[in-house]
Structure 1
């Protein structure tokens, strides 16, 4: 695989993962259960792509890849691993933020219910 092919695939991977995560984020904010589908697609799909690219036996083109002597597939595998880590960190941040939001809403509802009872 040549650098231009790898660059195109890497760019498509970054854009595709970004768009899928944005869809996941919007579904999660809306409270729609379909976000699990997008979450598991990212959670399982990116490592599978990385494993596939890391295990692809191809020749090395010196100077035409992400670095001298680095296979293009290995570079794409590294991008998939980095994207997976970034997505999981973002998922953790969103999860914590939504738990805080839910806790505040529950506290406000309990406070309002106590005010009505008195």
Structure 2
């Protein structure tokens, strides 16, 4: 619809550094809206108005991320699934979170990093 580049398989363009800088600037603009939401909350805005602003912010960030993933031919939903599975692997053997004495969340005995599985997924997509 917006004539943005799309790729069906993982693709890294020659101008990737420039694209990433522009993407960072776009996300930074969106994230700066948090300050406006905080100010409105501190000024006594209604809970509904605050919820609407937060939902809009989060939705915009997701839209920008999905758009960026399409440009690079990255299956964002599949990647998110792997990351969520990895996060769940941080739990203890009993399925509960593990905390140290300072309250820091620790990785459980079955934790695995998502990057190797993301690499495997992207390699499969590159194979004709």
Could you say which TM-score interval applies, normalised by the shorter chain?
Answer: 0.3 to 0.5
Instruction: Name the TM-score, length of structure 1 as normaliser.
Output: 0.38
Report which of the two structures shows the higher radius of gyration computed on alpha carbons.
1
Instruction: Name the TM-score, length of structure 2 as normaliser.
Output: 0.36
